[in-house]
Amino acid sequence: MGTTLAPPPLNPPERLLMGPGPSNPDPRVLEAMTKNPVGHLDPYFVDLMDETMGALRNVYRTTNHHTIPISGTGSAGLETILVNLLEAGDSAVVGVNGYFGNRLAELARRTGADVRVIEAAPGEIADPAEYEKLLADRPAKLVAFVHVETTTGACQPIAPIVESAKRHGALVMADCVTSLAGIPLDIDALGLDAAGSCTQKGLGAPAGLGPITVGPRAMEAVANRKTKPATWYFDLSLLFQYWGGDGATKKRAFHHTAPIQSIYGIHEALRLVLEEGLDARWARHQAAHEQLVTGLEGMGLAMFTPAANQCATINVVGVPDGVDELRVRNRLLSMGVEMGGGLGVLAGKVWRVGTMGYNAQPARVEKFLGALDEAIVEERKVFESYEGRR
C-alpha cells in the first residue's frame, strides 16, 4: 500500500534563473548544506552562530550586535522587524512605489499601527521632501521604505530619507531584499536603524532565511514596548536568548530548533561574499547589469526604469511590440532560461531580469541574451503569421 501513495522522484530541470529571484545559488552553498548535521545546541553550532552573525555584520557593514538570519524567508525577516518595532497606537510612514512597498505598508498595518504612505509612480522614486513634509506635519515612530523595488527596478537613495527621519526622531528601516551583496549598502555609514534582506538574490544562496540587522536605537524601542509582539516565533527578545543577547556569553536558551543546514548554507554564502570582497562584488554586479542593458538595447528593447533610477541587481525592460510576452517567457523557459514577468499594474508590459549573486557573470548574462534574442525572433514569426492570418 505504501508505495502507491508515494510521489514520483524529484527530477527538476536545469535552469538559468535570471528572473527577480531566486537566482541560482553558488554550487559551493548547496554543497555546504549537505555537511554533517549537528544539534542546535552543539558547541560547534553555537560557535557557527557567532561566526554567521559576524560575517553577516561584515556584509551589512554594521557593528550592530543584533544581526541574524531569521528562520523564514526574506519576507519573514521584514515582518520580524516591523512586528517588533511597531505596536497598536504607533505611527509609521512607509514609502510605496511598487508591489513591495505596498507589502511593507501592509506588514506595518497588521501591527495595528497608523500607517501613512508616500507614493511614487512605477519606475519612479519618492521625493525625500515628501518624507520631510509628512514627518514635520506629525511625527512617526518608524519610517520604512524599499531600497530596490523589485517590481519596477527603481533604486531609492537612502541617505536623504534617513536624514529626515533622524531630524524628526523616527527610527528608519529599509527593505534591502534586492540590494544586499549586490549594490553598495553600508548600514552604519547610512545610519539605518534596521534592514532586512533575503538569501536567494545577491547572497547567492537558496531562499529560506531572512537576514536582518537591528541597531541599538531600534532595540531600545523593542525594550520599551507596552505590549508583547503578537508573534512568538518572530519575537526578537526571545530570539536573542538563543542567538546570544549581549554577545558576551556562550549561554543559549532554547527558542525554536534552528534550521541547521540552511545556516550552513548562509555561512558559506557569506564566506563567498567576504572572500570576494564587497567592493569587488558590487563592481561585478554593476558590470553584469551594464552588459545586460547594452545587450537588451542592442536587440532594440527599451528599459522601463529611467536610467537615473536603475540599479545593478534587477533590470526591468519593456516588452517589445510584435510578440506575446507570456509566449516569449514560456519559450525561454523551454530553453532552460527563466526571466520574470511584470507584477500588478506592470503585468504584460515588462520583463524582469535579475543579474544577481552567482549569475552576475559575463558568460551567464551572454547566455541569457542569446536565448532571449532567439525566443523573441521565433515568437515574432509566430506573431506575424498569426497577424497575417487575421
| Subset of 278-307 contacting a second copy (CB under 8 A) | 278, 280
C-alpha cell read off for 262: 540552511
What cell does 388 get? 497575417
User: What does DSSP assign to residue 14?
Assistant: P
Residue of 126, 274, 266 whose CA lies nearest to 204 = 266
- Count of CA atoms in the C-beta half-sphere (13 A) of 125: 23
Size of interface with a second copy, in residues (CB under 8 A)? 90
Answer for which of 169, 186, 251, 254 binds a second copy (CB under 8 A) is 254
Identify which of residues 108 and 293 has a Cβ nearer to a second copy in the complex: 108
Q: Which of residues 115-134 bind a second copy (CB under 8 A)?
A: none
* Selected binder of a second copy within 62, 65, 68, 72 (CB under 8 A): 72
Instruction: Please identify, using beta-carbon distances, which residue of 42 and 220 lies nearer to a second copy.
Output: 42
Nearer to a second copy, 36 or 385 (CB): 36
Q: How far is CA 388 from the centre of its chain?
A: 44
Residues 38-67 that bind a second copy (CB under 8 A): 38-40, 42-45, 48, 51-52, 54-55, 58
Map grid coordinates 542546535 to a residue: 40
β-bridge mates for residue 145, sequence order: 174
Cell of 121: 509612480
The whole-angstrom separation of Cα 39 and Cα 42 is 5
- Among positions 220-239, residues that touch a second copy (CB under 8 A) are 228-234
Cα 343 from Cα 315, distance rounded (Å): 14
Residue ranges in 176-215 that form contacts with a second copy under rule CB under 8 A: 198, 200, 206-208
- Which ranges in 33-127 belong to alpha helices (H)? 43-60, 74-85, 99-110
Residue 250 touching a second copy (CB under 8 A): no
Q: Is 152 one of the binding residues for a second copy (CB under 8 A)?
A: no
x/- letters, 74..113, toward a second copy (CB under 8 A): xxx--x---x-------------------x--xx--xxx-
Contact between 24 and a second copy (CB under 8 A)?
yes
Closer Cβ to a second copy, 162 or 185, answer by number: 185
Q: Does 271 bind a second copy (CB under 8 A)?
A: yes
175 binds a second copy (CB under 8 A): no
Q: How far is the CB of 135 from a second copy (least distance, A)?
A: 25
Single residue of 21, 153, 204, 295 touching a second copy by CB under 8 A: 21
Peptide bond between residue 7 and the one before it cis (omega within 30 degrees of 0) = no
CA distances in angstroms from 365 to 30, 236, 292, 308, 353, listed in the order given: 22, 40, 6, 22, 10
Q: How far is CA 138 from CA 92, 118, 132, 167, in A?
A: 10, 14, 10, 13
Which positions from 327 through 356 interact with a second copy, judged by CB under 8 A? 333, 338, 343
